[in-house]
Chains A and B, each alone.
Chain A
Amino acid sequence: MSTSGSTKAPARIKAKQRPGDRIFAGSAVTAGSLILAILAAVAAFLIIQSAGVFTTPNEDIQILQGQSFWSYVGPLVFGTLWASFLALLFAVPLAIGIALFISHYAPRRLAQGLGYIIDLLAAVPSIVFGLWGATVLAPAVQPFYAWLVDNFGWFPLFSGPVSGTGRTILTAAVVLAVMVLPIITALSREVFLQTPVLHEEAALALGATRWEMIRIAVLPFGRPGIISAAMLGLGRALGETIAVAVVLSAAGTVTFDLLTSQNPGTIAANIALSFAEAYGVNVDVLIATGLILFAITLIVNSLARYIVSRRSAFSGAN
């Protein structure tokens, strides 16, 4: 903007300080700092509330059923990571495909409209996805699961017995994948559109087909963007609560099996399901699990944002 503080002119004219300016600038700074304060407060209050867990003997906490806190939260952490990993496994290739379709394949005039359609997926509330996953998707895929177990049961992931309801971790992962699809698509699309047109045209001029052009010009350019988009999607999937709580019938086990009725739960869904009945120090246990979830997502998101910001720094952002 206008003034640069580095000029060392001896008689620098100072701008007049008006009260209106002071108040306005002050409130703007306050609001900005308030955001940092809120984030700090989230961490602080969760830590304060969960302190009770470690001062009370485990036998007195009903929800733990005599185990230590860590053996209570362990399977939940596993379930959270496993479900999110599966969701990303479906969502990332699909999102890259959709982003490429919108940025490089669809007719220019349609592209924006198609982008809106994908964004509509993000507008659907998670409870609606939960309801849909439990009452439409799960019954629809159950016969397919049964077929998989019958024919490919020898494959470790598909070992039986098959769940009768279809509300397994695979179904939950599919619902999660649908929910994180828009965010990954939107970000990758942006990155693909930023590919230098000269690179693309150079590739085409050398006789590359469209796919070869994408492979040698677009994808290498967009790789950091895809990675960070995937990590942002991961952050979303890790924290998704209600859809998983409704779709997944969790048993709190640690297993990689995708199709049985013995599924690991996730932290967020477990909190939502147990919170209404919890009281006293049990609530503190749930808040402590929430703190762990907060820490995991904070790390994932920070990493993703760091990659994005580093990227925009060296691309010159023009």
Chain B
Amino acid sequence: MTQIPTVTKAGSLDRPIANSYSSGRLGDGMPWLILGGSAVVSAVVFVLLQVGGVTEEFNISGAVLLTLVIYGVSLYIASRLVEGSRRAVDRLVTTLVVTAFVIALLPLISVAFTVVTNGSARFDIQFLTYSMRNVVGEGGGALHAVIGTVLMTGAATLISVPIGLLASIYLVEYGRGRLAQAITFFVDVMTGIPSIVAGLFAYAVFALIFGPGVKLGIAGAVALSVLMIPVVVRSSEEMLRLVPNELREAAFALGVPRWLTILKVVIPTSIAGITTGVMLAIARVIGETAPLLVAAGFTNNMNYDLFDGRMQSLPVFVYSSYVSQGIEAQASLDRAWAGALTLIIIVMLLNLIARLIARIFAPKLGR
């Protein structure tokens, strides 16, 4: 803040005059004071509600929201009295914008908290080493689902990365005119395909070949790759475009053919970004439930063969454990939460590794 020293006229004053920079403004500490006051008021309200028996326990999200409401209103009034309506509106909007961010944090924190607390009950060695074959009631695990997820996501990656990478190379290095425009547009449109439609597509393809009712791991992989290809194309396209043209021209000037330039110069320069994009794409499809439910079905048994029979996956495992709880409902629910925890850990690890790769290997462009 600008703290202009107060002007003393003729040295006759023993206290500073309110100057034009600080008069008519709320002090720096004022908003914090009001925030503290609102927090106290709302805490008191919710403690009273709890004591009065209206709510069973102290409602944290409610208290936070009420704090922000009281804060917004009282700050607006205070600012309006001291600073005038324009600054009051400005302060009100600031409060609203911060509130929006806080509101978005609430579900994130709540999801993380519930998944960790509920999931840790069954997140043990048995859960990670057993399948659900012949398990009724307690016990059992999700190994078959983990294996299925790894196999199907791996196959989907094997399908989508070559296609996606080549397509992005086409868009960046070769693409001119109508075809390139059409591909760019439809890749964007393809990112919006509902996941269930991708699943139905894979089911329809394999039902036409093998007859109706067929559920295969590879069908799940095809469904996932329909969702994954556009993501891979978009991210690798962005990365390839970052490669400076000078590098390409230098290679051309040395008489290197175009394809070798791409293979030996362009791709190695952007490989870190491409890897990051692929890992983020994997993280995105690994949590898909609906396409796998439709295309690969669900099972309680181990299945290592993508081309034979139904295959379980982690998201579908969570879904089916929740939907059909069987005789020991709590055991099944615990398994669902443990599965959700496993899934979240995998996704977060993928995200983290992807960002780390991006951060460690990124500065290849500068000098």
A, B: real partners? yes
Whether A35 pairs with B186 at a CB distance below 8 angstroms is yes
- By a CB distance below 8 angstroms, the chain B residues around A93 are 100
Within B179-218, which residues are at the interface with A (CB < 8 Å)? 179-180, 182-183, 185-198, 200-201, 203-205, 207-208, 212-213
Per-residue contact bits, chain A 25-63, to B (CB 8 Å; 1 contact, 0 not): 101111111111011011001101100000000000000
The majority secondary structure among interface residues of chain A is helix
Bound: A305/B183 CA distance, A: 13
Bound: A207/B190 CA distance, A: 46
Whether B344 pairs with A35 at a CB distance below 8 angstroms is no
- By a CB distance below 8 angstroms, the chain B residues around A71 are none
- By a CB distance below 8 angstroms, the chain B residues around A258 are none
Bound: A178/B108 CA distance, A: 9
Bound: A127/B357 CA distance, A: 28
Whether A45 pairs with B204 at a CB distance below 8 angstroms is yes
How many pairs of residues, A versus B, come closer than 8 Å at their CB atoms?
A: 278
Q: Count chain A residues whose beta carbon lies closer than 8 angstroms to a beta carbon of B.
A: 94
B166 contacts the other chain (CB 8 A): yes
A209 contacts the other chain (CB 8 A): yes
- By a CB distance below 8 angstroms, the chain A residues around B347 are 123-125
Per-residue contact bits, chain A 113-156, to B (CB 8 Å; 1 contact, 0 not): 01001101101111111111011110000000000000000000
The majority secondary structure among interface residues of chain B is helix
A309 contacts the other chain (CB 8 A): yes
Q: How far is the CB of A186 from chain B (nearest CB, A)?
A: 12
Q: Known contacts A25-B259, A128-B115, A128-B343; is A45 also within 8 Å of B208 by CB?
A: yes
Within B79-121, which residues are at the interface with A (CB < 8 Å)? 86-87, 89-90, 93-94, 96-101, 103-105, 107-108, 110-111, 114-115
Bound: A253/B195 CA distance, A: 25
A201 contacts the other chain (CB 8 A): no
Most chain A beta-carbon neighbours within 10 Å: one of B105, B196, B201, B229: B196
Q: Taking CB as reference atom, which chain B residue is nearest A43?
A: B201
Within A270-308, which residues are at the interface with B (CB < 8 Å)? 271-272, 275-276, 279-280, 283, 286-287, 290, 293-294, 297-298, 300-302, 304-305, 308
Whether B90 pairs with A105 at a CB distance below 8 angstroms is no
Per-residue contact bits, chain A 195-238, to B (CB 8 Å; 1 contact, 0 not): 00000000000000111101000000000000000001001101
Bound: A114/B233 CA distance, A: 27
B128 contacts the other chain (CB 8 A): no
Whether B290 pairs with A35 at a CB distance below 8 angstroms is no
- By a CB distance below 8 angstroms, the chain B residues around A28 are 166-167, 169-170, 173-174
Bound: A132/B233 CA distance, A: 32
A72 contacts the other chain (CB 8 A): no
A246 contacts the other chain (CB 8 A): yes
A169 contacts the other chain (CB 8 A): no
Q: Taking CB as reference atom, which chain B residue is nearest A91?
A: B104
Q: Known contacts A123-B348, A242-B315; is A42 also within 8 Å of B183 by CB?
A: no
B262 contacts the other chain (CB 8 A): yes
Q: Known contacts A23-B259, A136-B114, A305-B189; is A271 also within 8 Å of B108 by CB?
A: no
Q: Known contacts A49-B207, A114-B101, A241-B290; is A301 also within 8 Å of B188 by CB?
A: yes
Q: Taking CB as reference atom, which chain B residue is nearest A45?
A: B204
Whether A239 pairs with B340 at a CB distance below 8 angstroms is no
B163 contacts the other chain (CB 8 A): yes
A1 contacts the other chain (CB 8 A): yes
The 3 A-B residue pairs whose C-beta atoms are closest, nearest first, are: A239-B194, A125-B287, A97-B100
> What residues make up the interface of B, taking CB atoms closer than 8 Å to A?
86-87, 89-90, 93-94, 96-101, 103-105, 107-108, 110-111, 114-115, 162-167, 169-171, 173-175, 179-180, 182-183, 185-198, 200-201, 203-205, 207-208, 212-213, 226, 229-230, 233, 245, 248-249, 252, 257-260, 262-263, 283-284, 286-290, 293-294, 297-298, 315, 318-319, 322-323, 333, 336-337, 340, 343-344, 347-348, 351
> Can you list 18 contacts pairing A with B, beta carbon distance less than 8 Å?
A1-B248, A29-B174, A35-B233, A45-B201, A98-B97, A114-B101, A123-B347, A124-B287, A125-B286, A131-B318, A132-B114, A209-B90, A211-B89, A239-B192, A279-B213, A302-B189, A308-B188, A309-B185
Further pairs besides A27-B166, A242-B315: 14, Cβ < 8 Å? A24-B259, A25-B259, A28-B174, A31-B165, A32-B175, A98-B104, A100-B97, A114-B101, A123-B347, A125-B286, A128-B343, A209-B89, A297-B193, A302-B189
